[in-house]
């Protein structure tokens, strides 16, 4: 396993083509726009080397028998699924933001299961190839991006119908030694500071989309790959220590558009190529694994936010007011409801044909659907508790200024015994955790709300439910006899 320091050193040795604000980024690790995301991902390495977290953060590889970082593990039991959720919460409590590495972990588990079933049905050899790739990831403790979301162009058209054929990643050439791919993946969490990307299709496909039904892995330094790093709310604040709120770990994961300009992928890294009938299965597997997570990491992050709001109430002198306590209780209730959803889908998970374990689909979708609502409600309560100054605070430069600093210190004070600086720091943290980019991730990460509702309806067994109702109200028809 890599230490956090070794992870950072490995990034320093990488030479991927990454752009931000119109400029090529040469030293990502020491760049203030990237460093918080690097620190946050590094926590996934740090906890694995911490004896306190050994049980949660490490696992035994079912392929090699060696101890590995759990973020590279294929779940071997329901308990593994539960440990995943608890690990995500524990790291969320330490970073207060996204630590990025779950997406690739979910992609590994989804691809592991689907390649097995593809081989069983079609006689292909993808699973064996994938296991070799997995060993490479586990042995080198690499960070992998889960690359599913294509730019998608016109949402009503399938990949092959798009005016621009590159709006979904596709194969442009098949060679004896591999394939050449073109296109892009959008919103790729942690991609700038990852080693590898595992590409999966983003929609269910028909035979006409065969060139788009492609799953492969590639090192992010490979020629032809280019990344464009997205802006985040208030990202210029990363240049100031106090104003950014979460000075060490930043906001959300740091997402890039990853572009593939005719990139060569050798066959030994290709895990699906044209098998359109399995694209939907891969999308669903990845989505379910990923939706399972949200009552883990987001609860850990919410633990930090609840702590910030409780502290703010003390700084404001309002902590004993009954409505303040009630609002904190409401935040706790919402957070723990989310967590129970993630635990439930893990405990109720089942074994897939490949042998790995899979969360209960409905409960995982319910968890993510709740995230799209509860995180906003938690944010609303946090804004209520914090007070309006989280939206109007002057900068840390004003606080440090020889003339206006004492004025800021005087007029932004709450209870006399708490330093003004503490109140400002806590306000910035609440602002950071409840604004723009952080909230959008709760809505669209792991799929927009409608994507969960489609799966809830599909698995709803409505006919069975209608039968329950008919029986109870005394309607006996042919179906019930
Ligand atoms: C912070 C963040 C991190 C992310 N990280 C990753 C990552 O690491 N890897 C990854 O692969 N993806 C990632 N995503 C992408 C995420 O999965 C997508 O944002 C999500 O699936 C929604 O896709 P979209 O953004 O293209 O929105 P759209 O699909 O355009 O959705 C916008 C609206 O249009 C509706 N809509 C879309 N298509 C249709 C249709 N055909 N019919 C009817 N309604 C439709 C949707 O329901 C929604 O209401 C991330 C997203 C965010 C915001």
Mean pLDDT, residues 4-21: 97
What pLDDT shows up at residue 480? 54
- Nearest CA, atom 32, ligand 1: 448
User: 56: Cβ below 6 Å to ligand 1?
Assistant: no
Q: Parse the chain into domains and list their residue ranges.
A: 4-277, 282-467
The average pLDDT across 108-136 equals 98
Full DSSP string of 83-137: HHHHHHHHHHHHHSS---THHHHHHHHHHHHHHHHHHHHH---HHHHHHHHHHHH
Q: Which two tokens stand for residue 109?
A: 């588990």
Q: Report the 10 Å Cβ neighbour count for 63.
A: 14
Check residue 241 and give its pLDDT: 87
Q: Is the CB of 148 under 6 A from ligand 1?
A: yes
Give residue for tokens 């106090």.
242
Q: What percent of the chain has pLDDT over 90?
A: 95
The protein residue with its alpha carbon nearest to ligand 1, atom 7, reads: 188
User: Which DSSP helix (H) or strand (E) runs through 179?
Assistant: strand 178-189
Condensed to tens digits (0 to 9), the pLDDT of residues 378-420 reads 999 999 999 999 999 999 999 999 999 999 999 999 999 999 9
String of b and e for 168-195 (b: at least 16 CB within 10 Å)? Answer: bbbbeeeeeebbebbbbbbbbbbbbbbb
Interatomic CA distance for residues 37 and 382, integer angstroms:
24
Mean pLDDT of 7-13: 98
* Number of other residues whose CB lies within 10 A of the CB of residue 314: 18
Say yes or no to pLDDT of 293 above 90.
yes
Query: Is residue 165 scored above 70 in pLDDT?
Result: yes
- For residue 203, give the 3-state DSSP assignment: coil
pLDDT band at residue 252 under the 50/70/90 scheme: confident
Looking from the CA of residue 145, the nearest atom of ligand 1 is: 8
User: From the CB of 441, is ligand 1 less than 6 Å away?
Assistant: yes
What CATH number labels 282-467?
1.20.140.10
- Could you list the active site residues? 98, 102, 189, 255, 290, 294, 297, 441
Ligand 1 pocket mutation, candidates 187, 289, 368, criterion most atoms within 8 A of CB: 187
Q: Is the CB of 146 under 6 A from ligand 1?
A: yes
Q: Is 454 in the pocket of ligand 1 (CB under 6 A)?
A: no
377 DSSP 8-state letter: H
Q: Distance, CA 102 to ligand 1 centroid (Å)? A: 17
> What is the CATH number assigned to the segment(s) 4-277?
2.40.110.10
> Which atom of ligand 1 has the smallest separation from the CA of 200?
11
Give per-residue pLDDT as tens, 193-231.
999 999 999 999 999 999 999 999 999 999 999 999 999
Per residue in 71-107, pLDDT tens? 999 999 999 999 999 999 999 999 999 999 999 999 9
Cα(330)–Cα(323) distance, integer angstroms:
10
Confidence of residue 325 (pLDDT cuts 50, 70, 90): very high
Between residues 476 and 12, the one the model is more confident about? 12
CA of residue 146 to ligand 1 center, whole Å: 14
Mean pLDDT, the chain, whole residue set: 96
Q: What is the pLDDT of residue 167?
A: 98
Query: Is there a contact between 415 and 316 (Cβ–Cβ < 8 Å)?
Result: yes
Tell how far the Cα of 200 is from the centroid of ligand 1, in angstroms: 15
Atom nearest to 252 CA in ligand 1: 1
Provide the pLDDT for residue 196.
Answer: 98
Encode pLDDT of 435-464 as tens digits: 888 899 999 999 999 999 999 999 999 999
162: confidence class by pLDDT, cuts 50, 70, 90: very high
User: Does 187 sit in the ligand 1 pocket, CB within 6 Å?
Assistant: yes
Atom of ligand 1 nearest to the CA of 191: 8
End-to-end CA distance of the chain: 61
Region 250-278: mean pLDDT is: 96
Confidence at 472, pLDDT banded by 50, 70, 90: very high
Q: What pLDDT, on a 0 to 100 scale, did the predictor assign at position 251? A: 84
Decide whether any atom of ligand 1 lies within 6 Å of the 113 Cβ: no
Q: What is the pLDDT of residue 478?
A: 64
Q: Which residues contact 249 (CB under 8 A, 6 or more apart)?
A: 36, 37, 39, 40, 43, 95, 96, 97, 99
The pLDDT of residue 481 is 54
What the block records as the tokens of 67 is 């101890």
Backbone phi and psi for residue 145, each to the nearest 5 degrees, phi listed first:
-90, 140
Cβ of 169 less than 6 Å from ligand 1: no
Check: CB of residue 137 under 8 Å from CB of residue 72.
yes
Side-chain half-sphere CA neighbours of 66 within 13 A: 13
């Amino acid at each position: 396993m890599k230490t956090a320091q070794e992870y950072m050193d490995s990034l320093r040795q990488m030479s991927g083509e990454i752009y931000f604000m119109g400029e090529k980024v040469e030293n990502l690790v020491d760049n203030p726009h990237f460093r918080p995301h690097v620190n946050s991902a590094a926590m996934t390495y740090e906890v694995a080397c911490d004896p306190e977290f050994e049980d949660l953060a490490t696992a035994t590889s079912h392929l090699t028998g060696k101890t590995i970082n759990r973020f590279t593990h294929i779940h071997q039991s329901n308990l593994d699924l539960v440990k995943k959720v608890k690990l995500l919460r524990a790291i969320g409590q330490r970073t207060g933001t996204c630590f990025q590495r779950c997406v690739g972990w979910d992609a590994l588990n989804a691809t592991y299961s689907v390649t097995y079933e593809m081989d069983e049905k079609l006689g292909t050899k993808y699973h064996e190839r994938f296991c070799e790739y997995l060993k490479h990831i586990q042995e080198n403790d690499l960070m992998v991006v889960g690359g599913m979301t294509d730019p998608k162009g016109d949402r009503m058209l399938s990949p092959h119908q798009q005016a621009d054929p590159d709006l979904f990643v596709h194969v442009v050439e098949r060679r004896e030694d591999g394939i050449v791919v073109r296109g892009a993946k959008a919103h790729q969490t942690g991609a700038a500071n990852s080693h590898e990307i595992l590409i999966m299709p983003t929609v269910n496909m028909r035979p006409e989309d065969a060139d788009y039904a492609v799953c492969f892995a590639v090192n992010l330094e490979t020629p032809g790959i280019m990344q464009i790093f997205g802006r985040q709310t208030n990202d210029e604040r990363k240049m100031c220590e106090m104003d950014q709120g979460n000075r060490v770990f930043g906001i959300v994961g740091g997402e890039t558009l990853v572009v593939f300009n005719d990139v060569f992928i050798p066959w030994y890294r290709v895990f699906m190529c044209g098998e359109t009938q399995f694209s939907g299965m891969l999308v669903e597997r990845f989505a379910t694994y990923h939706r399972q997570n949200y009552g883990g990491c987001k609860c850990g992050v919410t633990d930090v936010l609840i702590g910030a709001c409780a502290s703010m109430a003390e700084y404001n002198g309002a902590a004993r007011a009954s409505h303040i306590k009630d609002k904190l209780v409401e935040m706790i209730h919402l957070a723990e409801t989310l967590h129970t959803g993630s635990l439930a889908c893990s405990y109720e998970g089942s074994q897939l044909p490949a042998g790995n374990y899979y969360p209960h689909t409905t409960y995982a979708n319910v968890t993510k659907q709740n995230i799209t609502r509860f995180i906003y409600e938690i944010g609303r309560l946090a804004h209520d508790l914090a007070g309006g100054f989280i939206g109007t605070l002057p900068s840390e430069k004003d606080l440090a200024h020889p003339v206006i600093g004492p004025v800021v210190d005087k007029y932004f004070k709450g209870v006399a015994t708490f330093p003004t600086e503490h109140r400002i720091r806590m306000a910035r943290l609440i602002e950071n955790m409840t604004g723009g980019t952080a909230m959008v991730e709760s809505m669209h990460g792991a799929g927009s709300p409608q994507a969960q509702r489609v799966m809830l309806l599909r698995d709803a067994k409505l006919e069975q439910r209608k039968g329950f109702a008919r029986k109870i109200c005394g309607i006996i028809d042919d179906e019930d006899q």
